[in-house]
Chains A and B, each alone.
Chain A
């Protein structure tokens, strides 16, 4: 599903990357507020769903080759985070939905888990 469709589905604001929304296809997602868990368990090309707002979110996206970040619970990323995302060309969306609701809507719309369970 396109990022633009995700934007509509979650009534999300686009913080950065408006022009990328139609070109990025999201097939899988990983939701977590623990960056170490994302590093340990997410696979590449997933959308990262989080309530964290610091620049390490972007570093993690870069290390893992994730496709973008969806901030949940209305969290506003720090200015430094947005600046870094701009430099790296990583799209940022923000929704007021809580994490559970965000994941539920995406799952219903066909987005799959980046990893079903940990070993």
Chain B
């Protein structure tokens, strides 16, 4: 099950606007999300698609299926929004006659997204484009932990080699993180993350331990030395090894339902 979906829509493409939301809706249905959630996500993504078709040259959808929410980010290159407060008002619209003939441009789009979302964040640069971020919160008690995957499961499914023999791998992973700059990982990785890197210097172990990561996957095929493994053993930090590239490892983790940090 993929935990992130990506779509693109071109501006003025009114005959295809709507396909993305239908596709997301079908996915939600197949995965037994509550009807209310499906409906709200479908309405919001559809309005966002119409906005892309109406006001932009092109735009992208990123849909994140997280433990506790469905988060959608829509980025476009287009005319942008001059006055966001005004654009949020029901009835306000800058739509052309062409758009109005289609039955849109009634000034309900953003208001409709806001109404159906648990939060909505809008950033816009007039003349350049707009970024929308909105979500629907899930009742997590009913749904169970979707990320609920341990290092052990990752190791078994992907057939990665555990080079810290005997270390406990049962810890749940909170998200994945890929990076080869220690300062970046130090700044952005979070507790319980599974870190994918090509670094084999013992300092990497120190950073991983400091950040309380769930484990490290050494990608790229360069096997870390004895000092690295010894330090990891001492820290109780499980290390997996694979000849695959970081990119391939990230793709495998993603296919298991592991996402980035929200």
- Chain A residues with CB under 8 Å of chain B are 33-37, 39-40, 44, 50, 52, 54-57, 59-60, 62-65, 80
Contacts and interface: CB of A to CB of B under 8 A. Distances in A.
For the complex of A and B, 8 pairs with smallest distance between CB atoms: A59-B18, A36-B108, A35-B103, A52-B103, A34-B106, A36-B106, A63-B42, A63-B46
B112 A59 contact: no
B237 interface: no
B103 A56 contact: yes
18 contacts: A34-B103, A35-B106, A36-B104, A36-B105, A36-B108, A36-B112, A39-B43, A40-B111, A54-B101, A56-B50, A56-B102, A56-B103, A59-B18, A59-B22, A63-B22, A63-B25, A63-B43, A65-B39
B15 interface: yes
Interface in B15-54: 15, 17-19, 21-22, 25, 39, 42-43, 46-47, 50
Nearest to A33: B103
B115 interface: yes
B39 A37 contact: no
B58 interface: no
Interface in B86-142: 101-109, 111-112, 115
B104 A64 contact: no
Interface in B213-254: none
Contacts of A37: 106, 108
A34 to B, nearest CB: 4
B112 A40 contact: yes
Nearest to A59: B18
A56 B18 contact: yes
B14 interface: yes
A92 to B, nearest CB: 16
A56 B43 contact: no
Contacts of A36: 47, 50, 103-109, 112
A35 B39 contact: no
Nearest to A34: B106
A33 B25 CA distance: 24
A58 B103 CA distance: 12
Nearest to A84: B15
Nearest to B22: A62
A34 B100 CA distance: 8
Given A60-B18, A63-B25, 15 more contacts: A34-B108, A35-B50, A35-B106, A36-B108, A36-B109, A39-B112, A40-B111, A55-B15, A55-B18, A56-B103, A59-B21, A62-B18, A63-B22, A63-B43, A64-B43
A62 B42 CA distance: 9
A56 B17 contact: yes
B103 A57 contact: yes
A54 B15 CA distance: 9
A63 B21 contact: yes
A60 B42 CA distance: 10
Contacts of B43: 39-40, 63-64
Interface in B187-218: none
Contacts of A44: 39
A119 to B, nearest CB: 10
A44 B43 CA distance: 12
